[in-house]
Structure 1
């Protein structure tokens, strides 16, 4: 097996043009015919981007348009965590490769529009040697140079203005005498090939934060109007007993002391201990990383309002009861304020 591998490597190295270096990497280049992506050296050999950002930028550039490149989607695809992926995305955004903006859709919803450029835009760091000055002009003039090369021999006769009518395309050389500057504006289609249409719209809001802070100010723990000894004891025992019903909710003595006033507020508002226990132990996330913070959050967010007093409730309206009557024709019972006939007998009398 070792001999076969060595033979294959020897054949591969024999095809490498030029003398082999004594040290360093040796490239064995095999042309790609399908499923390949062109990545510029300005990204692959970037001096300021981290290796994670370079690899992530290369992966994003290889994806088709419309692929999801959110932090959670990439974290599910690669072993790196959400923190490293978010940092790499911020690096690509800072150097002009990635642009993320928040736009409002026609239905009123707000979404994030992500644009990735294979070459950094004006907002990115300057790169002295762009990767497409030599190769881009060649394909760009390809459609037009069919007539452009014809004027090339014409300049030999251009110094003599008289023989201008002799060649067929002679009228074009005066108009294209500036054919030398023509290739300069031709590279304009090159950026259009990469379709950076939305980029001009992304420059102004480029400094938008990559991870917008959605959390508001921390809510304070509820406090009872009067923390009596009975309320304190009942609340602390209830918190200490949570681990019997949910093994994940193991609280320390310091946590119980800190959360006792909030639990006492529930008891003060006539919440039964079973109700509080059910509110704290139902639908637990898996796993519960911080039990004290989780209990604090539920005690604060799910706090019921105080019960209204009897004087605050609207007065009870009397119930209207319609008495029962016996039909004078069939003796059937029916409800009515006045005696008479039931519905069936009234129908018969009206028909008669």
Structure 2
């Protein structure tokens, strides 16, 4: 039997629409009921008062994906045009408001992987992603309208870890350290640092540079083996690496002896022979002859 199109839902019967005069301005819904390939999204997400539009759209996309789909920053950057920096910020928003969780788990073989858990209800009971939850019995009666989600309590960000301090605070050394930190985003977009974080980290990089560590070696130490989904706090990760991986000072090298003075050539006043001396006069042989004659 062929399937018939479902009748559209009248605009005035939309559950989220207030009665509206036919000729007034504002939004009018013209909806068709979905029967396949649809995802149920709560208004607490689509109308969230604190999330950015990018974070809301990204959450809707993630909730529509099947189990096992990759939602790391590189995969999402290849899918959307916003770029890694904006997508990473949107993922952190969703984590802060309870729509995403990241858990590290050890799989057979000993390898550790990161699992991203999408929550369609931030306040819902957490459970293991591979463990089925028991269905809950709902009391009979009229459907209840869900209460608006409470705004999460905003806490002050944790201070960054301390970094090593250089023995020399020359402006040129700190400038080189600042330029190195500002250039990290060209190697990994997730390492885009604020001006405040850069000022905190610059002395630590300068401490490495004054120990005869090349800028290339410092950059490699800071960017190697980053998490696939990007660090949650890039500046904190860099500060930790600067402090814990600080190399020892270079071995002591005695200063080299200054080269011997090389005098210019002079013409002997006695024999016209060339010799080296600080100024004009006689060569050694002529001076010896004068002493013997005396």
Which TM-score tier does this pair reach, normalised by the shorter chain?
Answer: 0.3 to 0.5
Q: Quick check: which has more Rg, 1 or 2?
A: 1
Q: TM-score, normalised by structure 1?
A: 0.34
Higher RCO structure, 1 or 2 (CA under 8 Å, sep 6+): 2
Q: TM-score, normalised by structure 2?
A: 0.40
